[in-house]
Structure 1
Amino acid sequence: MDTPVIGVLALQGDVREHLTALAAAGAAARPVRRPDELDELDGLVVPGGESTTMSKLAGLFGMLEPLRERIASGLPVFGTCAGMIMLADKILDPRSGQETFGGIEMIVRRNAFGRQNESFEAAVEIPDIPGGPVEGVFIRAPWVESVGAGVQVLAEHGGHIVAVRQGHLLATSFHPELTGDHRLHQYFTDMVRDAR
């Protein structure tokens, strides 16, 4: 089996945890901070963190336009929590000047499940992931308000969309990298292999 090279956008957030989960899923995982590093990748993870800070840092590091171009040209990308927000075509309640990479035809609501002290864990049923529900860690998590016709809803929690896929792009409201269950990272790694 081939070993795809999957980067983790290392501007802010759960970089180390994603690197560990990707390695366990059979990928060659590496942190990515500069636009030229995108050329070496078969796929990319945009981790959780704080979406407004991530947007500013992506601008400062010159990553916004290069990533938009790579996403548009078919680079597989997996966004978790803030990463989901960064992959949304539209944010319902953006902070002033907040930008996204876009790519998934969806509208997201930031911090929809509440503040830091309202964080929680819940079992999330994802039919595409064998082996029973995954444990979702929701930390100031967004949810998806609506999706376009090309978006596949993979999971809901409490009546809200929390996992989606559109072609080569995958996003979850929650943090699968914090659980020790690497099935979602395996699913994404397989997506990257299929796209090569």
Structure 2
Amino acid sequence: MIGVLALQGDVREHLRSLTSCGAQARPVRRPAELAAVDALVIPGGESTTMSKLADIFEMREPITERIAAGMPVYGSCAGMIMLATEVLDGRPDQRGFDGIDMTVRRNAFGRQVDSFEAPVRLAGVPGEPFHAVFIRAPWVERVGDGVEVLGRVGAGPAADRVVAVRQGNLLATSFHPELTGDLRLHRYFVDLVRDRG
């Protein structure tokens, strides 16, 4: 059972992608719902809003504790920001879940009008480069020793920027695979969850 953090963002799109990959998936808003899942997806959305709602719904500590205990988590776009140990250009009161030892820059590619699509070849994901959709996306400026870089932007003015990483059971991308219909990244995460189980 994979939960999708349903505080704000692309919840339905991730639920649809996960069920299309053969996983059971449900929205998660409360600690009791989190306790009933084996893994979690933190969707794209607005990271400062997500940070505030994590406190309002009393989800910050339970998620942080489950991550520390080894629960697999995948974060896309705002989810990547929420998983980072350090965020640049965020609000002073913004807090995440401190999962992946990395520094990300919020809105690194620019504003909404600067959204773009680009090919990204992903290590461990077979086939053609992933057609990645970037919407007010972060990029990764630093990774710690235990973090594997899975993908970089393949073309354009932001070529070679790190946009996909993995640290153990934690996976993050700065783009939105749930908006493309390409299920390879969700399958990769579902397989990661199954292998852990």
**Interval of TM-score (by shorter of Structure 1 and Structure 2):** over 0.9
Deviation for aligned residue 1:159: 2.0
Report how many aligned residue pairs link the two structures: 192
- Percent sequence identity is 67
Summarize the alignment of residues 45-64 of structure 1 with structure 2, pairs less than 5 Å apart.
Answer: 45-64=41-60
Summarize the alignment of residues 46-195 of structure 1 with structure 2, pairs less than 5 Å apart.
Answer: 46-157=42-153, 158-195=159-196
SS in 2 for 1:193: helix
Counterpart-to-counterpart distance in 1, 2:92 and 2:57? 19
Q: Name the TM-score, length of structure 1 as normaliser.
A: 0.97
Deviation for aligned residue 1:93: 2.1
Counterpart-to-counterpart distance in 1, 2:105 and 2:86? 9
Q: Which AA in structure 1 matches 2:174?
A: S
SS in 2 for 1:125: strand
- Tell me whether 1:22 sits opposite 2:25 in the alignment: no
* RMSD of Structure 2 on Structure 1 (CA): 0.6
Counterpart-to-counterpart distance in 2, 1:133 and 1:25? 19
Q: Which AA in structure 1 matches 2:160?
A: G
Deviation for aligned residue 1:41: 0.7
The gaps in structure 2 that reach 5 residues or longer are: 154-158
Larger deviation: 118-127 or 44-53? Answer: 118-127
Deviation for aligned residue 1:102: 1.3
Deviation for aligned residue 1:127: 2.7
Q: Name the TM-score, length of structure 2 as normaliser.
A: 0.96
